[in-house]
Amino acid sequence: MDIATLKMKGLLGPLTAAPEAPAGFPFGLGAVGLHEVAETAYGDRAAATGFVLAATRPAQAGAWLWVSQTRFADDLGQVPEAALRHMQGQPPPRLSVKVRTLPDALWVIEEAVVSGAVSLVIAEVEAADFTATRRLTLASGRHGVPVILLMPQTREGATAAATRWRIHPRPSAPNRYDPQAPGHPRWRAVLERCRTAPNAAGTVFDLEWNDETLSLGVVSGLAAGPAAPRPVAREAPSRRKAG
């Protein structure tokens, strides 16, 4: 369906300019601007996706666009609607696009932002150089549509994104009903880069997701302070697993 048809069906609507990025956690993730969320190691994609869905609360109503390169869509599958409901409560309509190449993915992302027809773009891409992230940053700021790039553990180098996060799963919280069962999911989120709060770069957040209150909080006693050196990433296929 084209954009006009989607608007007629009530899936898309007019949007207003996004607010300025806040200087506190999660530093505008999913609310304004371009952000990168990368795996710490091979196999961390589920944790990275869970972090994005838990931390993202778009400032505007409207459909989401989820863009996936074929290599990730085939290896990892798509996030099911049940997962979106679990993390977002009443999730917005989601449009999914699968493309083969990185240039195609970047084109789709930018066109979606420029159209103003969606409230958020989440994209699983293999890379994005400084020029590409600069274009997306400018488009996002001009049209008020935030963008999140989900990226593999090999992500390094310069970026124009507002933030770059590095995510790794932690053991789940104790289950108060069954000590043998998993509890609330936990993640370690390292803020590698932050343009709105440069002094926060390198901060480690140990986080816990509460599926009863749909809230994300810092775990008392687990905050680790500055990030430890990260091992050199290796290129490898990735499978989405439980965070």
Tens of pLDDT, residues 20-65:
555 688 999 999 999 999 999 999 999 999 999 999 887 788 999 9
Residue 208: CB atoms within 10 Å: 20
Residue 181 banded pLDDT, cuts 50, 70, 90: confident
Hey, is 18 helix, strand or coil?
Answer: coil
pLDDT band at 18 (very low <50, low <70, confident <90, very high): very low
pLDDT at 92: 86
| Residue 176: pLDDT band with limits 50, 70, 90 | confident
Q: How confident is the model at residue 10 (pLDDT cuts 50, 70, 90)?
A: very low
pTM, two decimal places: 0.81
All domains in the chain, ordered by first residue = 29-226 (3.40.50.300)
Residue 68 to residues 6, 74, 102, Cα–Cα distance (Å): 20, 9, 9
For residues 65 and 94, what is the distance between their CA atoms, to the nearest angstrom?
6
Q: Phi and psi dihedrals of 54, rounded to 5? A: -75, -40
CA-CA distance, 70 to 12, in Å (whole number)? Answer: 25
Give me 136's structure tokens.
């997306």
**CB-CB contact of 87 with 73 (8 Å):** no
Q: Give the residue carrying structure tokens 């999660």.
A: 26
**Residue in 98, 110, 129, 141 with CA at minimum distance from that of residue 36:** 129
φ/ψ of 107, rounded to 5, equals: -65, -45
